[in-house]
Structure formats: structure tokens, C-alpha cells
Structure 1
């Protein structure tokens, strides 16, 4: 299982700060999140989704992954 952590508005949309997943790819995880959490529809496409600290494409296989972070855009500077 891979840990998925949510921050700021993503955490609010999901209603918790973390969960686990057994999704095979990042795209599969994103689809499952959108299905389970409709509040993410406008937000998830704008989020930075980091797999073990790196940006990857939706076809990326999650086997062996430790952590996925879902980071919405932050205001400020």
C-alpha cells in the first residue's frame, strides 16, 4: 500500500489528511479520487502530484512507491 497525503484545499476536499492506495498507476489513483471525492473535480487538475518527491505522468506505475503528495496551488510568495 502507498500513502497518499493531502494538503490545504485538497485535504479539505477529501475530508482527511491521508489515506492509502493500491492503485496500479498514478492515472488510476487520480480517477479513483475523482470518483470518490467530487469536490476534487475542479481542484485536482491544478494540483501538483508528487510521487516520492517527483512529478511523473499518469502512466507511472506506483509499485514500490512510498508516498504520494497532493499539493494544490498555494497563494503568497
Structure 2
């Protein structure tokens, strides 16, 4: 299981109540499950969000196929207005 930091931006930051927090998870899917459990507003935002793992876009890859390395930085990017 990897340990790292997850960073929240814009609406995700508001919903999480913090800018970043540590995590322990093996895959992005596991991480999403862990961070959204009991946090309904964050879960709603995360469903619309895209992700970067160590600066690389996840894109359309299945989240259970995105393996997290120890020391990874995951960023949650909700849709931004004005693109």
C-alpha cells in the first residue's frame, strides 16, 4: 500500500475542508473510496473531477488500474469555469 498526499483544488478543496491530506491506498479507485466515505459533498465533486498522479493526467483510465507509488501526489481537479 502506497503512502502519499492528495491535493484538492477549487470546489474539491471546499468540499474536503482542507487543501491536502495524507493517504494510504494501492490504487486510485481505493483512494477515491477512502476519501469520499462519509463525505457526501466531496463524493459529488469527485465524481465530476479529473485527476493527476505525479503530474500526469489519469484521463479515461480505469481508476482501479492506476497503481499509486509510495510518495505519490494525487491532485483532484474539478471542472473549472471559463476554461
Give the TM-score band, short-chain normalised: 0.7 to 0.9
Where structure 2 has 5 or more consecutive residues not aligned to the other structure, the ranges are: none
Work out which of the residue numbers 13, 29, 32 in structure 1 matches 2:31: 29
Work out which of the residue numbers 73, 78, 81 in structure 2 matches 1:75: 81
State the alpha-carbon separation in 2 of the partners of residues 41 and 29 from structure 1. Answer: 12
Equivalences for 1:5-44 in 2 at 5 Å?
Answer: 5-44=7-46
Q: Which runs of 4+ in 1 moved over 4 A?
A: none
1:53 is the counterpart of 2:55: yes
Where structure 1 has 5 or more consecutive residues not aligned to the other structure, the ranges are: none
Figure out how many residues of one structure are paired with residues of the other and give that number: 77
Shift of 1:38: 1.5
Q: For the aligned residues, what is the CA RMSD?
A: 1.4
